[in-house]
Amino acid sequence: MNRKQISIIAALWLLMGCGGLVAMLYHEKSAGGAGNPPKEWPADSAIAPRGPTLIMFAHPHCPCTRASIGELAQIMAHSQGKLCSHVLFLQPAGQRPDWVETDLWRSAEAIPGVKVHADWNGAEARRFHAGTSGQTVLYDAGRLLFAGGITAGRGHSGDNPGRDAVMALLAAPTGTGARTPVYGCGLSDKNSSCRIRTP
């Protein structure tokens, strides 16, 4: 192989590497559908709100959701018992019962003050108009205060506007309608923008 051929191969490898990096960064920063949660707590929800109540909707096989669970742990650690929190993991019809009980389920279950539930066939997600894993809603006195994601990108942990908004609302629940983008997989496989592992 001569010097010219080596240079061409090296240039192609460089272009492929740059293209992969750009695609990865685009994917990390591409938000899912934020949905349009109801302004009042749905009367037919199986979950009864108690004071400030946060719900996160999650796909149990979405790798992006690990960061959302980590941010929820941060929120709960600083809420000083002021917040009632639930994580609802999608349990599609036809899947075996343990399909939902992944390491994400166990991570959420380990957070003090968080109750974890299987959302059978996405019934609660539909009530709250959630379509993306990591979608989080905060209500107080049955009124929507916050809707969106609590990460700055797919799988990205750290400071972010969503977590800041929830913390500010817990400190002084005067505002309403705060919204942030949601970074995660679609709650249904057909809408997923990540590789969701299904058996």
Helix axis angle for 65-78 and 161-171, nearest 10°, is 20
Q: What is the pLDDT of residues 156-178, one digit of tens each?
A: 577 889 999 999 999 887 766 78
The answer as to whether 166 is a domain residue is yes
Given this model, what pLDDT does residue 157 score?
Answer: 76
Count CA atoms closer than 13 A to 196's CA, side-chain side: 23
Same domain, 58 and 14: no
Q: What is the DSSP string of 77-111?
A: HHSTT--EEEEEEEE-TTS-GGGG-SHHHHHHHTS
Same domain, 57 and 119: yes
Whole-number Å distance between alpha carbons of 18 and 20: 5
Same domain, 82 and 2: no
Residue 26's domain comprises 1-30
Same domain, 157 and 125: yes
The answer as to whether 2 is a domain residue is yes
The answer as to whether 24 is a domain residue is yes
The answer as to whether 150 is a domain residue is yes
Same domain, 160 and 86: yes
Nearest Cα neighbor of 64 from 156, 133, 132, 155 is: 155
Residue 88: both structure tokens together:
């609802």
* Three-class DSSP category at 114: strand
Same domain, 20 and 82: no
> Could you give the number of structural domains in the chain?
2
Same domain, 3 and 63: no
Whole-number Å distance between alpha carbons of 134 and 67: 9
Whole-number Å distance between alpha carbons of 83 and 170: 8
Which residues touch 177 (CB under 8 Å, ≥6 apart)?
A: 144, 145
Given this model, what pLDDT does residue 181 score?
Answer: 93
The answer as to whether 197 is a domain residue is no
Q: Which residues of the chain have pLDDT under 50?
A: 10-12, 16-30, 190-193, 195-199
